Structure 1
Amino acid sequence: MRIIYIDVDTLRADHTTPYGYHRPTTPHLQKLADKSVTFDRYYCSDSPCLPSRTALTSGQFGIANGVIGHFGPAAQFRLDAGHGPEPDRPLLGQRLGWGGYYTAAVSVFAERHRAYFFHANFRESIRATDRMGDEEAHDVNHAAIDWLRRHADQDDWYLHLTYWDPHTNYTQPAEWTDRMAACGPVQAWPDEDTIAAHAEIYGPRSALDLHYSAFGAGTSPVPHNMPDAIRSRADFEHLINGYDGAVAYWDHHLGLLLAALEELGIAEDTAVIVSADHGESFGEMGSYAEHGLANEPTHRLPLVFYWPGLTDTLPEPARHNDALLYNIDLAPTLCDLLGMSAPAGWHGTSFADAVRGEPIESREYLVLGHGAHTYQRSVRTRDHLYIRTYHPGCFRAEWEQLFHVTQDPYLTSDLIAREPELAAQMRSHLAEWWNQYAGRPGALPDPMQATLHTGPTYYNDPVSYAAHLRDTGRAHLAEDLEARLATLDIPVSWHAPDRPRTADLLHRWVQLLQTRDQQPVTSDGADRPKP
């Protein structure tokens, strides 16, 4: 079997056609979905990018594999010393390799996040460009289709492709944004009153600080595709048009990739799996164009799963499955479908029966964790979402929240005070899960608890951000942030005085990339000069 796993950074499920989006953003993904199983309740166990992909390829929750964030000890993958992979918990690519599969990737993810263990999944790793992420889809396709042409006459390979287009900043040609703006209205929520109220929600990628980052305030680097801030419905529509344009631009290149499979004569015997590392908030809880919370829009993922000989013969009712699933379930599922045993150290459960069109049992609940912009864990049942904040970072995050997601998909009504029994039950689920993975003899320390004194302050320094709030006439919000951090009884700033701030180094690196790569692209990227 040939397998292509397509990993689309920041692809929000409900902005795609298979998940009922009202705009035609993904016709090529829909064509694939017509012969696939689409999973409606598929979630990343850990977010954002580094924790999610580590969980996916390790088959383990971040609380066990060590990666719950993007910085320092919170981002250190736990590998025992010795020669070769651990037999009870190999990476997905290692397990496939033991089964005779040639594994390859076109992805800059390992370099972007210094996640060099990710390379251990693959015999061959290809960087499409010298950019550290945010590669355009045409560059990824160029490398991917070249690889496919060289391996089309071979069998038993697994190819992982990472696309970045829906991740901010939206760098697609403006025509794609205009196309989405012309094809249908933007969703009605948030309305003007909600957007006005969001001025009191502070934090990077909040309404008034849409482009605030580790090196200070900024304006939109892509004015046609993103506004400077969200002050009105017009700004929100501008933002959504840019995001949808990025999704449509990626989908266009998905179509070219699928056409290449047809041209090579291997489309009918190549499995194609499309998913994401995380989603994106667009106003939920006051967060815009960011994946910084353990909430529904960040953790819910698309999963379109085509497996030749199985999914293409299923009746329509079997093409959708709504069991509560994790992305760590993918690794044992692939092993199951390929007739391989799943290692004992993986935490996921195979959903291969659903790929075969058979019913599967759903979990009672999922536990989801975030550790890059806030430290949060949440519990997702079929209808409800409970969120517990351990460290707010620089974001106005409440310590506990409870939502009825089925009735309140935009997370506007907090039930934590009105539903004490339900809140207690959700806390119990979280405690049960924590005790299973970190509260038993032999378990390694929970990296979220072990790094709580530092917290998720890699991207944004609370001292600098509080000063920014005061400089922009929001002293009351600076005081609120400082008061929340004071309750933790930890230093407000993590930056050591005797070394350059990571933010300053990052700023220099971004400036270098921006000055080097200012060439426009055409709709297919064919005329883009190479650096």
Structure 2
Amino acid sequence: MKIIYVDVDTLRPDHTGPYGYQRPITPNLDVFAEDAARFDRYYASDSPCMPSRTALTSGQFGITNGVVGHHGEAARFRADSGHGLVEGRPLLGQHLGAHGYLTAAVSSFAERHRAWYFLGNFRESIRATPDVGDEPADIVTDTALEWIGRHLDTDDWYLHLTYWDPHMDYLQEQEWTDKAAASGPPPAWPDQAAIDGHAEIYGPRSALDFMYSDGLFERRVPYNFPQQIRTRADYEKLINGYDGAIHFWDSEFGRLLDGLKAMGIADDVAIVVSADHGEAFGEQGSYAEHGLASEPTHHLPMLVKWPGLTEGAGSRLGCDALLYNIDYAPTICELLGLPIPAKWQGESFADAVRGLPIESRDYLVLGHGAHTYQRAVRTRDHLYIRTYHPGAFRAEWESLFHVTEDPYLTRNLLEEEPMLVDQMRSKLAVWWNTYAGMPGSLPDPMQTTLQNGPALYNDPVLYMEHLRRTGRGHLADDLGQRLNPGTGAVPVSWQAPVDPDNSGRVNGPHWARTFPDTGTHLFGDAAVNGAADRDEAALSS
């Protein structure tokens, strides 16, 4: 069997035709879906990019495989010492290779995130351009078709393609953005009232700090981005950029399908389309970001076209079972008739690909560890979120949402539903004890790295300074309280930027220091020259 896994970074299912989007921006995916099984409640067990793809290919939760975030010990894959495959828990690509499959990837993910173990999935790994990350879809498709053309006579292969286009900064040509904007009205939410309310929600990629940078990563305003989200026009510019990126990707997905037809193998290739995570567009005050263990971040598309099994499947209802992305690896193995490794933690949904009913889990547990430390419990109707570290976000310690009735997560039911909250806490505790609380369990990397927290992208101390400089001292106080809810002792030692060449730019680690509200604020030799000017310009624009 020839298999192509199409990994579309940051693709929200509800911005595609098969999942009911109002704008017709995915015509090729829509046609593809006519012969594909659709899964409506498919979630990333861990987010964002690095935890998700590690879970996908390891068949294990991040709490087990070790990767719950993007930095330091929270991003350290647990590989046993020794040589060869790890008994009982090989990576998916290793397992396929051991059973005769040629495995390959067109992806810069491993280099982009220093996830070198990911390369162990593939006998061949191709970077389509000299650059790492954000290679445009046409280059990925060109490279994929060239590889496929060289392996037409190979019976069994597995090709992983990573398309980056829907990930910010939406770098497609303007024509694609214009086409998306002209294709129909944008989503009606957030309305102006919701956007106005988001002025009190702080954090990187929030309404007023949409382009905030503490210096570690350049934050120039891309042409498809607004400077801030103050009006519906700002939101519409942003969503047109996102939809334009999806529209461009879809055109290249169509060219990939056309290429398979031209080679005469279209009916012989299994194709899976999914994503690593989604994206928030106003939910919980976050825009064009995947920084929370939330519905828009964790809910993924999953479409499976499998020769001999899914012809005409688009006419049937999508599978409604609660599924994880760690279920993908065992599903592929069952469909191929291969043994499922004993230490994988996912469950096959192969029967659903065949059109048969499958039993659903009662709930899922979802984890995020790059911008905040959070875990969430997702039932059929509700989402409970527990924050362990807020990073630089206004993240409540606990939240409960009725997602079916409140899809934009606007009403926290924590006080109104105490019994349900207790049930959700119990579900989270049972899950945690199953994977980290039993004799012989490995430590939970989210717990063992709480002291430093998720500070790779945004340093909370610098961000509090930014809030004060921009006249929002009350929000800085609020963040300080969240970071230091106890007696005033400093609980963290941030990994944040320094200025190695005295250039005035910050891009490496600071020394430990206390919060402005609780003691001396020590920045070592770090330089933050120009930050106040940038802040003032941003708020006045």
Does TM, scored on the shorter chain, surpass 0.5?
Answer: yes
Contact preservation (8 Å) 1:375, 1:391: yes
1:449-528 matches, within 5 Å, as 449-487=447-485, 490-491=490-491, 494-495=494-495, 500=500, 504=507
Q: Please, which runs of 5 or more residues in structure 2 have no aligned partner?
A: 510-541
Residue equivalent to 1:439: 437
For structure 1, the residue ranges without an aligned partner over 5 or more in a row are: 507-531
Report SS of the residue matched to 1:181.
helix
- Does 1:257 pair with 2:256? yes
Change in Cα spacing, 1:334 to 1:371, as seen in structure 2 (3 Å) is same
Task: Flag the 1:425–1:348 CA change in 2: closer, same or farther, 3 A.
Answer: same
Alignment of 1:202-281 (within 5 A): 202-215=202-215, 221-223=221-223, 225-281=224-280
Is contact 1:461-1:493 (8 Å) kept?
A: no
Structure 1 residue 62: Cα displacement: 0.1
Q: Give, in whole Å, the separation in 2 of the partners of 1:296 and 1:250.
A: 23
Measure the CA separation in 2 of the matches of 1:165 and 1:497.
Answer: 28
Does 1:341 find its partner at 2:344? Answer: no
Alignment correspondent of 1:379: 377
TM superposition shift of 1:117:
0.2
Query: What's the secondary structure of 1:312's corresponding residue?
Result: coil
Instruction: Work out whether residues 456 and 496 of structure 2, in 8 Å CA contact, stay in contact via their aligned partners in 1.
Output: no
| Displacement of 1:492 | 5.2
Matched, 1:448 2:451: no
Where in structure 2 are the equivalents of 1:194-205 lying within 5 Å? 194-205=194-205
* Structure 1 pair 343–126 and aligned structure 2 pair: CA distance change class (3 A): same
Aligned position for 1:332 = 330
Partner of 2:533: none
The reply on whether 1:192 has 2:222 as its aligned counterpart is no
Distance of 1:449 and 1:503 partners within structure 2:
28
Residue pairs, 1:69-468, within 5 angstroms: 69-215=69-215, 221-223=221-223, 225-314=224-313, 316-317=315-316, 320-468=318-466
How far apart are 1:441 and its partner, in Å? 0.5
1:19-38 residue pairs with structure 2 within 5 A? 19-38=19-38
CA contact (8 A) 1:212 1:218 kept: no
Q: 1:486 to 1:500 in 2, by over 3 A?
A: farther
* Cα distance in structure 2, aligned partners of 1:20 and 1:353: 24
Shift of 1:471: 1.4
Looking at structure 2, the residues matched to 457 and 500 of structure 1 have their Cα atoms a distance apart, in angstroms, of 19
Aligned CA distance change for structure 1 residues 503 and 364 (closer, same or farther; 3 Å): farther
Matched-pair contact (CA < 8 Å) for 1:463–1:493: no
How do 1:32-71 residues align onto structure 2 when only pairs under 5 Å count? Answer: 32-71=32-71
Deviation at 1:17, TM superposition (A): 0.5
User: Which residue identity lines up with residue 311 of structure 1 in the other structure?
Assistant: T
Q: Displacement, 1:314?
A: 4.3
Contact 2:375 2:385 in 1 (8 A): yes
**Which amino acid is 1:395 matched to?**
F
Distance 1:258 1:438, change over 3 A: same
Checking the alignment, whether the CA contact within 8 Å between 1:462 and 1:493 is kept in structure 2 is no
Q: Is 2:363–2:380's contact at 8 Å kept on the other side of the alignment?
A: yes
State the secondary structure of the residue aligned to 2:414: coil
Supply the distance in 1 between the matched residues of 2:402 and 2:149 (Cα, whole angstroms).
Answer: 49
Amino acid at match of 2:31: K
Q: If the length of structure 2 is used for normalisation, what is the TM-score? A: 0.91
SS at match of 1:401: strand
Q: Which residue of 2 aligns with 1:526?
A: none
Distance 1:50 1:393 in 2: 18
2:408 counterpart SS class: coil
How has the CA–CA distance of structure 1 residues 368 and 497 changed in structure 2, closer, same or farther, with 3 Å as cutoff?
Answer: closer
Distance across 1 between alignment mates of 2:121 and 2:20: 34
- Cα distance in 1 for partners of 2:182, 2:498 equals 53
Do the aligned residues in 2 keep the contact of 1:402 with 1:414 (CA within 8 Å)?
Answer: yes
Conserved? CA contact 2:11–2:301, under 8 Å:
yes
**Distance in 2, Cα, partners of 1:218 & 1:469:** 19
User: Is the contact between residue 459 and residue 503 of structure 1 (CA under 8 Å) also seen in structure 2?
Assistant: no
- Give CA deviations for 1:147-167 in whole Å, capped at 9, x if unaligned: 011112221000000000000
Query: In 2, Cα distance between the equivalents of 1:302 and 1:138?
Result: 21
3-state SS, counterpart of residue 69 of structure 2: coil
CA distance in 1, matches of 2:464, 2:493: 11
SS in 1 for 2:103: strand
Give, as a single letter, the amino acid of the residue that structure 1 aligns with 2:27.
P
**Which letter does structure 1 place at the counterpart of 2:211?**
H
Distance 1:84 1:503 in 2: 41
Identity among equivalent positions (%) equals 66
Counterpart residue identity of residue 255, structure 1? G
Letter in 1 for 2:507: D
Q: CA 1:194/1:498 → structure 2, altered by over 3 Å: closer, same or farther?
A: closer
The CA distance in 1 between the partners of 2:34 and 2:500, in whole Å, is 52
Q: 1:313 to 1:182 in 2, by over 3 A?
A: closer
The amino acid of 1:301's aligned partner reads L
Counterpart CA distance in 2 for 1:239 and 1:315 is 31
Shift of 1:505: 5.5
Give the match's secondary structure for 2:507: helix
SS where residue 376 of structure 1 aligns? strand
Q: Secondary structure at the match of 1:311?
A: coil
Deviation, 1:436, is: 0.3
Deviation at 1:130, TM superposition (A): 1.7
Per-residue CA shift, 1:74-129, capped at 9, x if unaligned? 00000110011112000000111111111000000000000000000000000001
Question: Deviation per CA, 1:38-70, whole angstroms, max 9, x where unpaired?
Answer: 100000000000000000000000000000000
Give a deviation string over 1:299-345, Cα, whole Å, max 9, x none. 0000111001100154822x511110000000000000000111010
Indicate if the aligned counterparts of 1:463 and 1:492 stay in contact, CA closer than 8 A: no
**What residue identity is the alignment partner of 2:172?**
Q
Check the 8 A contact 1:470/1:478 in 2, yes or no: yes
Residues 7 and 481 (structure 1 numbering): CA distance in 2 closer, same or farther, change over 3 Å? same
Report which stretch shifted further, 488-497 or 373-382.
488-497
Q: Note the C-alpha offset of 1:173.
A: 0.4
TM-score (norm. length: structure 1): 0.92
Match of 2:535 in 1: none
SS at match of 1:321: coil
Q: What is the number of equivalent residue pairs in this alignment?
A: 504
In structure 1, C-alpha distance between the alignment counterparts of 2:497 and 2:32, rounded to whole Å: 53
Deviations 1:476-498 (A, max 9, x none): 11111111101165445513798
The amino acid that maps onto 1:306 is: K
Quote how far apart the aligned CAs of 1:412 are: 0.5
Offset, 1:226:
1.2
